[in-house]
């Protein structure tokens, strides 16, 4: 598959947030656990954008489960920074989406990269999840 959303202007800006002062650790920068929260919020925004978010879950009964995450820290985020997150599509199938997120500060400096593999599931009568195709 040709990567159509993974670099430069082909990336989709999905989420922005100011840094909560409670996220600052003893080293004076954003704690690692808070990057994951922000990337998760960006993923939710992306799913809403493509029509696979909360409304989809309520209407169709499908859910998205995270199968794998990989987070790389490139540059520290400081208290006065703003987190700007964009997403690129790495690959997809009828049952899975592989996404690449970039987090930049307000000056445009790449601070973190996050990749995630999400699976589409439905729950059976016993509420066990089973991977299946998107509607």
What global pTM score does this model have? 0.86
55-72 core/surface letters (b: 16 or more CB in 10 A; e: else) = ebeeeeebebeeeeeeee
Place of tokens 């909560």: 20
Place of tokens 């489960």: 65
Task: Give 67-113 pLDDT, tens digit per residue.
Answer: 999 999 999 999 999 999 999 999 999 999 999 999 999 999 999 99
pLDDT tens-place string over residues 30-70: 999 999 999 999 999 999 998 888 888 888 778 899 999 99
What CA–CA distance (Å, rounded) separates 96 from 134? 8
Model confidence at 25, in pLDDT bands (50, 70, 90)?
Answer: very high
Q: 82 Cβ partners below 8 Å, 6+ apart?
A: 16, 17, 18, 19, 105, 106
Please write the tens of the pLDDT for every residue from 70-80: 999 999 999 99
| Residue in this structure with the two tokens 């990057």, named with its chain if needed | 35
The DSSP bridge partners found for residue 85 are 15, 103
């Amino acid at each position: 598959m040709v990567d159509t959303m993974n670099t430069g202007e082909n990336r989709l800006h999905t989420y922005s947030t100011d840094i909560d002062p409670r996220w600052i650790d003893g080293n004076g920068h954003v704690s690692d656990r808070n990057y994951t929260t922000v990337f998760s919020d960006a993923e939710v925004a992306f799913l809403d954008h493509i029509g696979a978010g909360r409304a989809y879950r309520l209407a169709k009964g499908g859910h998205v489960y995270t199968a794998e995450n990989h987070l790389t820290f490139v540059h520290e985020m400081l208290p006065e920074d703003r987190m700007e997150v964009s997403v690129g599509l790495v690959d997809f199938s009828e049952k899975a989406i592989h996404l690449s997120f970039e987090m930049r500060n307000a000056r445009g400096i790449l601070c973190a990269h996050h990749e995630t593999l999400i699976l589409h599931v439905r729950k059976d009568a016993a509420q066990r999840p089973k991977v299946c195709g998107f509607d």
